[in-house]
Amino acid sequence: MPKLWNETIDAHRHAVREAILDATAQLVEAGGLRSVTMSQVAERTGIGRATLYKYFSDVDAVLLAWHERQITGHLQHLAEVRDRAGTAGERLEAVLRSYAAIAGQRHGGELATYLHQGEHITHAERHLTGIVEDLITEGAQAGDLRADIPPAELAQYCLHALTAAAGLTSKAAVTRLVDVTLDGLRPVP
């Protein structure tokens, strides 16, 4: 087959895969992780079940792919927030506020625990920890953040403290959680 034809097939397969994950996102949004079935995904995507099974072997595989795409999107967003103008302290605050908002959306339950054990999560956590650690290092050098504790440890402190957002029910409470967490990073008088 000519190269162009292969590229067209690849583009088509990619578009179908994205459409499947878009449909999955809508179903998760509407009914939660546990509610998603292969039949619903096929119907919402506008493809047959047989076609869906050519892309994904079961509903767990669909959810894992959807979750990987979510995590990648979150990381890209956080990297963009980091790259905005401002001091390291301001950019750190912006990154932590965005992260807390994401952590506040986290879906609970066994299936969420399963998804969060994937390798993509380990990789994403390492990447995010690096972003936060670098900003803390820069902020400590500028005198805006405490310099008496290793930045790597402060990064772990922040990201663990902010996982408390998953149990909070209002945006105001998430804002307060980030305030308290940031107060732990201030220079010691």
Q: Tell me if residue 88 falls in helix, strand or coil.
A: helix
Smallest distance from a second copy to CB 87, Å: 21
Decide: is 159 part of the binding site for a second copy (CB under 8 A). yes
Smallest distance from a second copy to CB 92, Å: 14
Task: Please state, in angstroms and rounded to a whole number, the distance separating the CA atoms of residues 87 and 177.
Answer: 21
Of the candidates 123, 124, 125, 106, which has an alpha carbon nearest to the alpha carbon of residue 33? 106
Task: Please state, in angstroms and rounded to a whole number, the distance separating the CA atoms of residues 142 and 12.
Answer: 50
Smallest distance from a second copy to CB 156, Å: 4
Select from 40-48, 87-95, 136-144, 171-179 the region that touches a second copy (CB under 8 A): 171-179
Of the candidates 165, 63, 176, which has an alpha carbon nearest to the alpha carbon of residue 105? 165
Select from 11-19, 26-34, 89-97, 143-151 the region that touches a second copy (CB under 8 A): 143-151
Q: Could you tell me the sign of the dihedral formed by the alpha carbons of 49, 54, 58, 59, in that order? A: negative
Q: Select 44 or 120, whichever has its Cβ closest to a second copy.
A: 120
Q: Select 94 or 149, whichever has its Cβ closest to a second copy.
A: 149
Q: Which long-range contacts (CB under 8 A, 24 or more apart) does 158-161 make?
A: 158/96, 158/132, 158/185, 159/99, 159/125, 159/128, 159/129, 159/132
Select from 60-68, 91-99, 134-142, 162-170 the region that touches a second copy (CB under 8 A): 162-170
Decide: is 176 part of the binding site for a second copy (CB under 8 A). yes
Select from 29, 117, 119, 126 the one that contacts a second copy (CB under 8 A).
117
Q: Which two tokens stand for residue 92?
A: 């750190």
Decide: is 188 part of the binding site for a second copy (CB under 8 A). yes
Task: Please state, in angstroms and rounded to a whole number, the distance separating the CA atoms of residues 6 and 48.
Answer: 23
Considering CB under 8 A, how many residues would be counted as binding a second copy? Answer: 29
Binding residues for a second copy, per CB under 8 A? 110, 113, 117, 146, 149-150, 153-154, 156-157, 159-164, 167-168, 173, 176-177, 179-181, 183-186, 188
